Amino acid sequence: MEMPIRVSRDFATIYPDASASATECAMNLARTGDLVLGRVASALQPLEVSPAGGLVLGILKDAGQPCPPNYISERLIVSRATVTGVLDTLVKRGLVRREPHPTDRRMVLVHLTKAGSRMADTVRRTVHRGEADWMGSLSEQERARLTELLGKLQRHLA
C-alpha cells in the first residue's frame, strides 16, 4: 500500500522560499488524480472507450445538439489537436459523426449518434458505479469536506 508522498526533512533548508506542506499537497493531488484516472481507464477498457472519449460523449449528450470541436476542447481543457484525435476514434466506432456547419464552411459540427448516446449512458453508469468504490475509504462527511477544499483550491487557481 502506497503512503502519501512526503518531502525530505531538509526540504526547508534546500528550498527556503518554498513550503513543504504545499509541495506535499501538490504532489499528492497529482498522484491521486493519476490513480483515479487509471481506475476510470480500467473501468472503461471493456467498453473500448478512453476516459477522454467518454468525456466527449458526455459533453455532446449534455449539449443536446451538435457542437463544434472548439466547444468540446474548451470543456475538456485540452488542445484542439487532442480533440481531433479523440473524435477520429469515436467516428471510426460510429459513436459520433462530423458534418459541415450549415452557415460557416470553415467549421464542422460533431453529432452524437444513437449508438454514441447509448455509449455515453453506459460510460456514465460504469464510472459512477466505480466512484462509490474508489471513494469508499472516505465517509460522506469526509467526501463533502474534500469536495469543499478542492473547490476552494480550484477557485484560487482559476
Here the cell at position 98 is 462530423
**Cβ(61)–Cβ(120) below 8 Å:** yes
**In which band, very low, low, confident or very high, does the pLDDT at 1 lie, cut at 50, 70 and 90?**
low
**In which band, very low, low, confident or very high, does the pLDDT at 144 lie, cut at 50, 70 and 90?**
very high
Delimit the domains of the chain by residue range.
1-47, 50-130
Q: Residue 109 and residue 70: Cα distance in Å, rounded? A: 10
pTM equals 0.85
Here the cell at position 76 is 475538456
Confidence at residue 15, expressed as pLDDT on a 0 to 100 scale:
95
Confidence at residue 81, expressed as pLDDT on a 0 to 100 scale:
84
Please give the CATH number for the structural domain made up of 50-130: 1.10.10.10
**In which band, very low, low, confident or very high, does the pLDDT at 12 lie, cut at 50, 70 and 90?**
very high
Q: pLDDT tens-digit profile of 87-122?
A: 999 999 999 999 998 888 888 999 999 999 999 999
The amino acid present at 57, given as its one-letter code, is L
